[in-house]
Structure 1
């Protein structure tokens, strides 16, 4: 006896054989519209059914000696391996984790493209469980609400909009946890960015060199701010006029980079790896004073409040501080920065990084306010201490506790 799944597939193929012989060009507009929507829905449902079958067809690959069913399917049907693995990921996600989404896909309430986006957003949210302070049961309920909400929104939004909704889904289903999660995710991203930071110079042999750099977003914005101080901002058409000549923005920025290097004083080594640029940053008053939460840079990118407070020690950082209901309380000033004379005095006093056990020399360190400037700490020698870049980051890292030892050094301990 033939299984209903095979019998149904054969029936669908018989119907398709009849449909492909028809000429749709003479259909009225209304019926063309209806046929397009119907076929799109049917195609998506068939793909969803195939993904469901793939999720439980590992024995097929094993029987034929293939690594997995996606590889087997790509080999036997000549589809791309990427397409087969994409279908396998969706099928496994719906079979093992997101059954509500799987049911909506099979019913035609969600199309396959939407399904991939929703599954990805839910997987990202599930992987963040270790970053928030809630129990497993409560977090499970949050995931259920998130899945339900995104499936419902698929009635109104396409994949691009759903991706944006998925990125902020916690603000909808558990707003009390959204800020905590975002802060910790940003902190993790900042640590990864520092590990991935690199710069490579390749001489091309024609009098030019290719510079490839991968930098943290905040550092890239500081560089962009400095370069645009040497050139006009980008115009709407992407070109800038100079002496009657239309010069591409990218060339202007390249010339600005050369000018920036020429403007550096070779007789004086820069402090903290270079004189910091002045940037505007927006953050809540509570985030500024506690170091918890997030802040927004001038280009709209987000950083942790801890990173903003660290930058405040080393950059001409001007915070636009917000109170309740995002009302501006005022703009900060740049008097928080230690002067070159104070830096020299700190170097003479501290000699090296003052973290317990660290011997990074003073020339490679950064000046840190013991009592944060945002809490009234003064920019003077009594409130200053030298820390290397790593330990300066740890001072502002919520994962670590720190205290001063009798000799004035700072000792760190990972929070238990």
Structure 2
């Protein structure tokens, strides 16, 4: 305790020093020295935590575990407490060189965690000598590698210290990892919250993840000028687009005797006057403008009711861009017609320029191809679409974007 008290006084003296007066050389040297001291202090802390755990102090204080006791004692998060107790135990039973290196400040806490993880994962057949050798290789490499790179090096450390068993061990580890990933695979869709969001979570094995990535990557890039979506937003849109494409194919199995489809229930006045809400078949509510957008093409079938709830229309075929009309639309537009967009026809919906609920006809002169992202832009962000004198679509930007309202066209698909 006397030593710790003196160390505390020295730190107080450092804390009271104005660092602005230091030269750049002294500033960097001080930063390096503080970092080394920080790691050495953590080594002392971990030794104390391990002793506390070994003595079962937590139980004597009424706590269910050392991590729970540490959380309350030091007022740290539960995760941080668990990681501290885990690392203290790993250093105690792992190769001695790791704890010694941390105590000297040669490795950092996260590097020590990586090294103990790697050595603990080595096969039992490797033997103590090989494990100690691997730990020493990683400790030496910690001078040049941050934790992430050190972990990647650790994945191949057996090839450096015991090549005769490395290949067999790697195959066994890979087989076990594949089986574990396959067993743990899952996807969960939560119910929509009050903010209208649905949480999608899950895990995939490497093979399935590669398939999903191969499907999403080609369509998750920016879709032209003005696309300010984040990478995560683009991937979310791409996932929905892939599912829509699957619905397009008609190859999905029936669901309860019906072809897979999305049904939107909406009052006819709501659809026409754009006042009120609509309901998906799962109970989720949508704004009327969203309904007008999703009702444009064949993959979403609206169930339109009168005031008494009588079904007036369920998937009225005369409003859908299918067959020869769809092919003519593809020939004319070549893909999404929004200026600057390169999305091909298979990722694009037919959009009524004058909405069918407002009396617009389902014909080539009242249609334009739009990808899912720009379909939303046109319905929600104030863009206007029209056919020019030459019969090709052009877009009028909202006033906030271009007060002159200069028409714009998509030249990506080689239109004039």
Identify the residue that residue 393 of structure 2 maps to in structure 1. Answer: none
Q: 1:161 Cα shift? A: 1.3
Residues of 2 paired with 1:267 and 1:52: CA distance? 60
SS class of match (2:223): strand
Identify the residue that residue 354 of structure 2 maps to in structure 1. Answer: none
Identify the residue that residue 239 of structure 1 maps to in structure 2. Answer: 222
Distance change (3 Å), C-alpha of 1:108 and 1:211: closer
1:262 and 2:248 equivalent? yes
The answer to whether the 8 A contact 2:246-2:252 is kept is: no
Partner deviation per Cα, 1:319-354 (whole Å, 9 max, x = no partner): xxxxxxxxxxxxxxxxxxxxxxxxxxxxxxxxxxxx
More strand by share: 1
1:221 and 2:210 equivalent? yes
The answer to whether the 8 A contact 2:94-2:119 is kept is: no
Partner deviation per Cα, 1:257-306 (whole Å, 9 max, x = no partner): 322343254799xxxxxxxxxxxxxxxxxxxxxxxxxxxxxxxxxxxxxx
Identify the residue that residue 396 of structure 1 maps to in structure 2. Answer: none
Partner deviation per Cα, 1:173-195 (whole Å, 9 max, x = no partner): 12232222222222222222332
Identify the residue that residue 8 of structure 1 maps to in structure 2. Answer: 3
Return the TM-score normalized by structure 1. Answer: 0.52
Q: 1:49 Cα shift? A: 0.9
Identify the residue that residue 281 of structure 1 maps to in structure 2. Answer: none
Q: 1:73 Cα shift? A: 3.3
Distance change (3 Å), C-alpha of 1:218 and 1:107: same
- Give runs of aligned pairs for residues 18-29 of structure 1, distance below 5 A: 18-29=13-24
Let me know the Cα RMSD of the aligned residues: 3.4
Which of 163, 166, 175 is the aligned partner of 2:151? 163
1:251 and 2:237 equivalent? yes
Q: 1:252 Cα shift? A: 4.2
Structure 1 gaps, min length 5: 1-5, 269-416
Q: 1:204 Cα shift? A: 5.4
Return the TM-score normalized by structure 2. Answer: 0.52
The answer to whether the 8 A contact 2:219-2:238 is kept is: no
Residues of 1 paired with 2:253 and 2:61: CA distance? 71
Which of 116, 120, 128 is the aligned partner of 1:119? 116
Residues of 1 paired with 2:206 and 2:244: CA distance? 21
Residues of 2 paired with 1:46 and 1:207: CA distance? 48
The answer to whether the 8 A contact 2:71-2:81 is kept is: yes
- Give runs of aligned pairs for residues 13-412 of structure 1, distance below 5 A: 13-58=8-53, 59=55, 60-125=57-122, 128-129=123-124, 134=125, 138-199=126-187, 214-225=203-214, 227=215, 233-234=218-219, 238-241=221-224, 248=234, 250-265=236-251
Distance change (3 Å), C-alpha of 1:54 and 1:224: closer
The answer to whether the 8 A contact 1:146-1:169 is kept is: yes
The answer to whether the 8 A contact 1:117-1:163 is kept is: yes
Distance change (3 Å), C-alpha of 1:261 and 1:87: same
Q: 1:120 Cα shift? A: 1.4
Which structure has the larger Rg over C-alpha atoms?
A: 2
When the two structures are aligned, how many residues end up with a matched partner? 247
Q: 1:246 Cα shift? A: 8.9
The answer to whether the 8 A contact 1:204-1:210 is kept is: yes
Identify the residue that residue 413 of structure 2 maps to in structure 1. Answer: none
Residues of 2 paired with 1:207 and 1:117: CA distance? 40
Distance change (3 Å), C-alpha of 1:9 and 1:68: farther
Partner deviation per Cα, 1:54-78 (whole Å, 9 max, x = no partner): 1112333344333344433332332
Structure 2 gaps, min length 5: 255-416
